[in-house]
Amino acid sequence: MKWQVVEPTRGTFDWSGGDRLVQFAQAHGQLVRGHVLLWHNQLPTWLTDGVGERPIGNDQLRALLHQHITR
């Protein structure tokens, strides 16, 4: 469920890995616990490389973080 896996391309989300994990746990009576929603060394390259070869500003980063967390 790391950001680089869930949103490898900006605005394109892929929840299939997490869905498979939860389905397996449910089928086997197991619990699923979340861990580290954002991690500094598992960020998508589109975020770390910047937007249009320019660094992402603070306000834009806050908006991207809010979108990632709420989706």
Q: How far apart are CA 19 and CA 16, in angstroms?
A: 5
Q: Which has the closest alpha carbon to 61: 70, 50, 45, 53?
A: 50
Helices (H) and strands (E) in the chain, counts: 4, 0
Name the CA radius of gyration of the chain, rounded: 14
The pLDDT of residue 53 is: 64
The pLDDT of residue 71 is: 84
**pTM above 0.75?**
no
Give 43 or 1, the one with higher predicted confidence: 43
Type of residue numbered 40: H
Say if CB 31 and CB 24 are below 8 A apart: no
pLDDT in tens, 17-71: 999 999 999 999 999 998 777 888 888 988 888 666 677 888 988 999 998 888 8
